[in-house]
Amino acid sequence: MSPLRLCMAVCTVALLLPAVTAKYAALDWWQTSIIYQIYPRSFKDVNGDGIGDLKVSQLSCFGGSAWEWNDKRQQYYYHAFAIQQPDLNYRFQAVVDEMKNVLRYWVEKGVDGFRMDAVPFIFEADHFEDEPIADNHADFEPSDHDFLNHTLTVDQPETFDMIYQFRELLDSYKLLDGYTRLIMTECYSPLEKMMKYFGNETKNGAHFPFNFLPIERLSRQSNARDFAGAILTWETLKPAGKWGNWVIGNHDQKRAASRFDAEFIDALHMITLLLPGTAITYNGDELGMEDSFIRWDQTVDPQAINVGPKRYQSFSRDFARSPFHWDASPNAGFTTNLYSWLPVNPNYWYKNLATERNQMGPDGRPAGHQCKCSRSWVWRIHLSDGTRRETPQAINVGPKRYQSFSRDFARSPFHWDASPNAGCHIVVMNIGSEIEYADILTIRPTLPEQLVVYAASANSMHEPGHTVNTDKIMLKPKEALTLSTVELGIVDRHIKVGDAFDPKTMMGGSRNYRLGGIVNGAAKKEEKGEDKTDKAEEKGEKKLLSRGRYAWEDDDWDDDDEKEEDNEVY
């Protein structure tokens, strides 16, 4: 099997809203969708054998020799991953032609796009010299992949050109029917090399390489400045005109709820769903699924098995691959078999999709106090047929600037072309472990005195439709709120704020949203408060929000006067 693995892009199809301006209507389907990544082996077992039914190979650099003897051919063959996955020789034109035929086959079957895995390993240098020993080799065993510096087997110049050829092939179908076939590439490469997968001056490459900065740079030890730095770094290095994306978890990393905190998962979703670009969600993250403990005798990941029982926990990816939690039935509804290929997390009986659905009443409204522990707004967006960008002003065409005002407080404004009533969305979150009070007026005095809660984390006392005082917003540890200056006709399909609406729209297949006026005369306050804002910034009042909190704004303000030293790249 080739190191290039192709699979269908499993997407939530987005419905463009009637109120979206022409600029937003021009966005392609993959720009307004959420990419929902399933791990087929753990997603759903249909035939009852305990294993998910779409067969895929386990991918990683598993340690040990990359060369294997084949008795039949009386030759060694190279495999960057498992013994069962020999690398194909892409320097042989017949191989390239056949792989292009594979793409054609699936496109003609109707797939929307491809997740191309482990793409840096497509080519190796053609001289077969030994790779140099890594500078930090003392931290690893000689058989570990990271013991060597892989300059000859990863990200070779020919690799980028091959992705460009694949893009040219898929774009040829768009010339015929006008429909885009998406290419997403997986690579844990240095950023300057990762950006080459987008394309060059003359050729298009992937629609986007996965942005793993939220995985690689952020953890439960991160503060607000770290979050702002990761966002700013990607947006700064991304080639002009290219589309962004945000990945907080996948099948090769510990789950987001375990890397951070289970209570913080809602805040992470608010970040990825409102930043400009496509949100990539690993199945189960929308439910707050956590890593499962896997004993050594239960381990199946080749990467973990190869390092032995003493070190397997540091290398295993099985913890994040436990079966999806469908309901509270045995084995979380994943399989009817007595055993599943990996143990199900013991918390499945209350943290599952059916529980989330049952906490919503028949009219689409929260069903009583139990909804306080519900993440219904998260799974609704991911698993329904609606778009994550429920209002036109949340459809960002690109950020203007990201800033961190102090070590623990940051914000990032966005600019969009929308109606004069567009207003803004603001996300505030408490990263710390103590109750905090946010006074957003200290950083933007032109805001209205009250803001509407658009979405709230499961641990919040607020619900969509509530109003909060802009100068004193209490945030519990790990709590997150998305606040809006715009009155929403319908928020998240089940909260009404303002105009009358047809209840059928809450239960039907499409999402229809109405926009009201700016709350509390925000337009006038903005006009009158312009000088006040500048004075506040000159006095250094950017750091007034206390430690442990992160915020950003999604707005149409002009921040050209703000200081350049705030725009650090991390």
Residues 45, 87, 112, 117: which is the catalytic one? 117
Residues 186, 301, 356, 492: which is the catalytic one? 186
Answer for the pair 526, 557: CB distance below 8 angstroms, yes or no.
yes
HSE-up of 465 (CA within 13 Å, CB side)? 14
d(CA 180, CA 186): 19
Helix (H, G, I), strand (E, B) or coil at 441: helix
Helix (H, G, I), strand (E, B) or coil at 12: strand
d(CA 191, CA 237): 8
d(CA 483, CA 460): 13
Name the pairing type of β-strands 473-475 and 490-491: unpaired
Q: Which long-range contacts (CB under 8 A, 24 or more apart) does 259-263 make?
A: 259/215, 259/219, 259/220, 260/218, 260/219, 260/220, 261/220, 261/478, 262/288, 262/290, 263/457, 263/458, 263/459, 263/477, 263/478
Q: Which residues of 334-361 are buried (b: 16+ CB within 10 A; e: fewer)?
A: bbeeeebbbbbbeebeebbbebbeebbe
* Catalytic-residue membership of 526: no
- Structure-token match 């914000």, residue found: 411
Tokens of 60: 């990683």
Answer for the pair 567, 232: CB distance below 8 angstroms, yes or no.
yes
Q: At what angle do helices 265-274 and 376-383 cross, to 10 degrees?
A: 40
Answer for the pair 508, 456: CB distance below 8 angstroms, yes or no.
no
HSE-up of 250 (CA within 13 Å, CB side)? 22
Distance of alpha carbon 551 from the chain centroid: 18
Tokens of 51: 């294993």
Judged on CB neighbours under 10 Å (0-12, 13-18, 19+), 475 is buried
d(CA 94, CA 65): 27
Answer for the pair 315, 145: CB distance below 8 angstroms, yes or no.
no
β-partners of residue 475 are 436
Number of H helices, E strands in the chain: 16, 22
* Catalytic-residue membership of 186: yes
Angle CA 403–218–480, to nearest 5: 70
Helices assigned H by DSSP within 178-255 = 191-194, 213-216, 224-237
Helix (H, G, I), strand (E, B) or coil at 514: coil
Helices assigned H by DSSP within 297-348 = 302-305, 312-315
Q: Alpha carbon of 48 to those of 144, 339, 391, 479, 565: distances in Å? A: 36, 9, 42, 40, 59
Indicate which residues carry an active-site annotation: 117, 186
